[in-house]
Structure formats: C-alpha cells, structure tokens
Amino acid sequence: MNGRRVLLGVCGGIAAYKAAALASRIVQRGADLDVILTAEAQHFIGAATFAALARRRVWTSMWERTEEIPHIALVRAAEVFAIVPATANVIAKLAQGIADDLLTNAALAARIPIVIAPAMNTAMLEHPATVANLRTLEARGVTIVAPESGFLAERETGAGRLAGEDAIMDAIEATLARTRDLAGERVLITAGPTREPIDPVRFLSNASTGTMGIELAREALARGATVDLVLGPTSVVPPSGAQVDRVTTAREMERAALARAPGATIAIATAAVADWRPAETHASKVKKTDDPQSLALERNPDILAALGARKNGTFLVGFAAETDAHEANAREKLVRKHLDAIAVNDVSGERGFGAGDSALTVLWGNGGRRELPSASKRVLAGGLWDTIVTIRRETRA
C-alpha cells in the first residue's frame, strides 16, 4: 500500500473506536490517509485521534474550508473510500442517494471504489430495509465486508459486530490492487443496439440497453485504463471519463470502431449489432395499406469479425447472446472470428436484454472456461475484467 491514497469515513457507532486501529494500520502500510468523521462519530471518538495517526487534518464538516469543496476534492484525491463502521442510517442514505453531510456527499460524488464495513445491532442488521439497502449497494459495485457474530454493545450475542481488522484490510488491499491492473491500457468497447432505418419514424433494432458495455467502461476507467466507447442509441448515461462516439447504424458503428481499433490494447465488443438492414430506406413515412407488404433486407457488416481480422496484437473479447446451444455456438464464434475470449449469455425467455441481473460464461483457448454467476451488470463487469486480466497474464507467461 506504499504511496496509495485511502479515504476513511467513520460513522457514529460504538465500533468507531476500532476505526482508529484500522487507520493506524493503513498508515503503517505506507498509505496516505484522509479521514472524514461524521458528527455522530465524534460522540464516540475525537478528530485529534485520527489527526495524530494520519498526520493530516481530519474533516468533519462541509463548511470547514468551503473554498476547497471538500466532498469533491477528497474523493478525487483518493483511490478507495472505506466507510468503517457503516451504520444502518448511513447505509440507508447511501442506498437512496441522500447527501446531507460531508461523508454522504463525498460518497455520492465518488467515482472510486467504495468499501463499507457495517456494524450494528442484530435486529437492525436483519431488518428488511437494511437487507435491501445492502443488496442495492452491492448491486452498484460497493464492496461489503460482512459483519461478524459475537458479543455486542447491548450485552447481546449475535450478528452485527464489525468485521475483523484483517478482513477489512484485505478488502481495501484487494480493491487497491484491482484499481491499477489496467493502468496504461487503452480499451475499446462497443455497446448498445444499432438502429437501421426503414423510414423517418421506423427502424429495425433490438432490446439492448448498452448497460453491460457501459459498466465495463466504468470499471475499466476505475482500474486506470483509457477508454474509447462506441455507443449505439441508449438512454443509459455513460461514464464521463470515457471518450464516447455516439452512433446509430451498424455501418456507423463499424467505421467508428475500426477508426479507434489501431490504438487499442484490449477491445470488447458488447454491442448488439443488427444483423440486417432494409435494402431501401424511404425518405418519407411509408403509409399503411391493407395490401400485404414485404421488406427486403441486406446483411450488415460483421464488426467483430472485422476487428478480429485486423486486431494486430489487440486482446479481443466478443459477446454471444444465445438462446440455444450456448457454449457450442460461442466456441464456434470464438474460433471463426479470431477472438481471444468470448462471453456468452442466455437471452432466452425472460433472460433477455436489459439492465437487470444476468450471468456470463467466459470461454477461451481450447478449453478455458469460467462461470460468472447471476449478478448486476456492474458486479459482472468487475468479474469479467478480473477474468480478462487473468487470461492475458496466463497466455503471455
């Protein structure tokens, strides 16, 4: 952790005193540490304790140094934001996007990984609201360090005791290790659907939202990569740190992707490209008639195959959305399109495109295979990047 930058948020629970020992250990490991104490935390432990440990000023209010805009400056200076202990109240605020003090404002502004270690009475931990809030945060990619069972402040024994210092440190260190594993990489991602116009008001497309590609771009940025995102029509907001090329048709996407490809070290084609386009596009709206109508189609370019034919050292990952014979079809595509890996997902029935949970199977080489179980697209993006980094390292060894 030498030279790494950690932001520690301390909430108002009895376990706040344990955050001092954690702060000391973070500093002893060589990290630069900033600390935010909530007003409630100061009922349990003082700012002077953390100032002495971190050898830096401790932040307790939005209004101490308004010219520094602390909630923005602190998260931009840090590489990971650890909230220890995280109370039920603060967890609820984070889940709902409430920002009413320095800590919650900083969390809402954070584009860095967040690690939280809950600590509270068993009844509060097991309340359906807390359970739902923790699931919401986990779905957004927040790392939850689960509390332990043990002796609690209320002289009770049960779940809710702050996780051990080793477990919290492991989570922080793992997050820091992940944040730099794409440093120096230039990543190209295609995402979203394409739309092929029939006339000014009608088009051929599919139900892709682009969420998977956008989350992969967000995760790549967090890990230190430079990201080019070629994005089809979608209402999902891409990360601001990416260089975004907005496109509509498959041919527009092909031109943009091939223009960006020569500088990419890794390319991931998540876009759901329309395989067909109308052979004729009408300049005016086609009027409805009672006569039978037919629509002549012609093939769109195969963008993934084009990237594979001229990848020139780029590590190329494809996606396969399948309804039948998932792995057999994906492995055939892996070979035919000269891919280094392919992620296949089942889009049959209710498992179709969308922003909900999904699962992936990653295939590579002659028999490489890894399952990424059902989770949010943000969690899957982290798992897929972990897999890509591992495959590249092993194939280069």
- Beta-carbon contacts of 207 under 8 Å, excluding residues fewer than 6 positions away, are 193, 352, 353, 354
Which three-class secondary structure state does DSSP give residue 325? coil
Which three-class secondary structure state does DSSP give residue 295? coil
C-alpha torsion angle, residues 213, 139, 5, 12 (rounded to 10): 160
- Residue whose C-alpha is closest to residue 162's, from 152, 147, 143, 178: 147
Which three-class secondary structure state does DSSP give residue 303? helix
- Residue whose C-alpha is closest to residue 71's, from 98, 48, 101, 95: 101
DSSP 152-197: -TTS-EEEEEPPPHHHHHHHHHHHHHHHTTTTT-EEEEEESB--EE
Phi, psi dihedral angles at 63 (to 5 degrees): -110, 10
Token pair, residue 171, equals 């989570």
- Please identify which of the residues 121, 133, 206, 329 carries the catalytic annotation: 206
CA distance 100 to 83: 16
Judge whether 89 counts as a catalytic residue: no
Distances from the Cα of 134 to the Cαs of 2, 197, 282, in angstroms?
31, 43, 51
The answer to whether residues 140 and 94 touch, using CB atoms and an 8 Å cutoff, is: no
**Matching residue, tokens 């024994």:** 157
Cβ of 132: how many Cβ atoms within 10 Å? Answer: 12
Token pair, residue 282, equals 């009408």
Token pair, residue 237, equals 């907001």
- The identity of residue 346, as a single letter, is D
Token pair, residue 127, equals 């309340």
CA distance 175 to 299: 44
Catalytic residues: 206
